[in-house]
Structure 1
């Protein structure tokens, strides 16, 4: 392993460890509720990222471009993030049920993207 890569990985590991006390601070200091400006823009932004990731992954994959694995990986992350925020910000009742249904769909998208990202091959994606 190259020395630069090793140090990059060590720094990432250190960041993970340092985030634990930071999460504890946030857990005890953040308010339970808050008023948010640009709420709709934030939600639309997540959906724009998800749609862009799906489209880019599809286009690259259909061209047989191995970079679709990178976009698939990023898109899976966005799908999981979107599901997390859908569920954790939903009110109880119908809103929560709708959020859970959306989270299932986003979970499927994430699963498909992870499968694409981990697909075996020689750098090119096989198209059927």
Structure 2
């Protein structure tokens, strides 16, 4: 029997060139990507919706499942924080997305805490929590932005020079 050297098996890597070429064509033609168009239309559609809600919603509203609603938001926030911690610790590419989602959930939580708190100690507690939660949320979003830049630089080093067209 003769020993033969085995060649290592290398997993195929997706070529980012087709996606980059497509994005370049959209920019060169002056077209917006479809997601930008959908987001712009949705943002414009929300303006009259917000005005309508402001004019028609009652100032006070009694609801059921109040405790479940808050517990659900806090469970989602705890899971997002855990996912952000784990993915950041392990340097997974998903860390950027988890960090941004976590920051948005933290800002939403602070907003709802402040906007529905009652006078007195409830309001004071909400302000104190927001003074902690909002800066942490901004730091988490900043971390997500840095992770995304790190990931993009690793995949396409020429992203540091946006005027460079390969």
TM, length-normalised to structure 2? 0.69
Unaligned stretches of 5+ residues in structure 1? none
Task: Write out aligned runs for 1:1-128 (5 A).
Answer: 1=23, 6-119=33-146, 120-122=149-151
Output the CA distance in 2 between the equivalents of 1:24 and 1:111. Answer: 28
Output the CA distance in 1 between the equivalents of 2:77 and 2:131. Answer: 15
Deviation string 1:19-69 (CA, Å, 9 cap, x unpaired) is 101111100000000001111111111111111111111101111112111
Output the CA distance in 2 between the equivalents of 1:82 and 1:97. Answer: 15
Unaligned stretches of 5+ residues in structure 2? 1-22, 155-166
How far residue 122 of structure 1 moved from its aligned partner, in angstroms, is 3.7
Which aligned segments of 4 or more residues in structure 1 are displaced greater than 4 angstroms?
A: 2-5
Flag the structure with larger Rg.
2
Higher-RCO chain (CA-CA 8 Å, sequence separation at least 6): 1
